[in-house]
């Protein structure tokens, strides 16, 4: 049952339409698209797998460090969370 659900989600992601398309001056061979999905989702498309991996890593690192105190967005806190 879980495998079936994952296949449906994968199919949905493949079929999503682009809302906007962007470019990056350092990654000219990659298409960057914001997708039509309830949450913010981007798609990186290219035949250059190494560049996609590098750009995705750069985006992830910046996202993890992003803060906007005016909108109550804080990248990290000193508090350590546990499952207990």
Running DSSP on this structure, what letter comes out for residue 28?
T
Cβ-proximal residues to 71 (8 Å cutoff; 6+ apart), any chain: none
Cβ-proximal residues to 55 (8 Å cutoff; 6+ apart), any chain: 24, 27, 30, 32, 44
Domain ranges of the chain: 2-71
H helices present in 42-82, as ranges: 49-65
Pick the residue with more confidence: 10 or 81? 81
What distance in Å separates the CA atoms of residue 29 and residue 26, rounded to the nearest whole number? Answer: 9
Looking at the whole model, is its pTM more than 0.85? no
Put the strands of the sheet holding 18-22 in their side by side order.
18-22, 31-35, 42-45
Confidence check: pLDDT of 81 > 80: no
**So what's the pLDDT on residue 39?**
76
pLDDT tens profile 3-62: 455 555 555 667 788 889 998 999 998 999 998 877 788 889 999 999 999 999 999 999
**So what's the pLDDT on residue 2?**
44
């Amino acid at each position: 049952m879980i495998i079936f659900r994952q296949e449906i989600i994968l199919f949905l992601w493949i079929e999503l339409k682009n809302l906007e398309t962007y470019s990056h001056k350092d990654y000219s061979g990659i298409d960057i698209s914001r997708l039509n999905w309830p949450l913010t989702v981007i798609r990186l498309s290219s035949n250059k797998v190494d560049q996609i991996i590098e750009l995705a890593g750069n985006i992830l690192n910046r996202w993890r460090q992003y803060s906007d105190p005016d909108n109550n967005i804080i990248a990290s806190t000193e508090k350590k969370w546990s499952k207990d």
